[in-house]
Structure 1
Amino acid sequence: MALLFIAKDPNTNGTQCPTAWVDDEAKEIVIQGWKAGEALLERCRETGSIPETEAVLRLPIRMVDALREACDVADRLGVR
């Protein structure tokens, strides 16, 4: 199956907005979100470094249902 679309941010026009998918082959939840600004990155770095291969993304709290659904889909597919 590979990449399964879950949802886009419900409060946007449907393009260029936060999105959630489940990749059952890679066993990952895939998220498109807004890039974190430098102030947020600095606060995140207080917990530890952020490797070049990783990113900090921001999602509106209204995406919680989409993230829960992605987790539920991953569970149903046995993606663990």
Structure 2
Amino acid sequence: MALAFFGTDPTSGGGNCPAVWVDTDSADGPELVLQGKSADAATRTACSRDSPPAVDETVIRIPARMVEQIRKACDAAEAARTQL
């Protein structure tokens, strides 16, 4: 697994915070890897109306202040995909 780290919540003080990586070695091509707070039951129920999660999926929350890190990770994942 080749994880490229793109950052954490800029207002956090270090570990135990939302974070974003790109895995460039995934069998299905590059994937974003996100760490965030587990969504509460009401949020999971609301999300399930649009897209029920599979057994191995969960709903997480990522603060909007991480858009810059996520955007950079998305750009890197797209660039890696074109290199495959």
| TM-score for the superposition, normalised by structure 2 | 0.86
Output aligned runs, 1:41-52, within 5 Å.
41-52=44-55
Distance 2:2 2:16 in 1: 22
Moved over 3 A (4+): none
Q: Does 1:63 align with 2:73?
A: no
Unaligned runs of 5+ in 1: none
1:77 CA displacement: 2.5
| TM-score for the superposition, normalised by structure 1 | 0.90
- Matched residue SS, 1:46: helix
Q: One-letter code of the match for 1:54?
A: E
1:23 CA displacement: 0.4
Q: Deviations over 1:29-76 (max 9, x none)?
A: 100011000010111111132111101010000011111000111123
- Matched residue SS, 2:45: helix
Unaligned runs of 5+ in 2: none
Output aligned runs, 1:1-80, within 5 Å.
2-26=2-26, 27-78=30-81
Moved more, 55-64 or 40-49: 40-49
Moved more, 27-36 or 46-55: 46-55
Aligned length: 80
Q: One-letter code of the match for 2:80?
A: L
Q: One-letter code of the match for 1:30?
A: V
Identity of aligned residues (%): 39
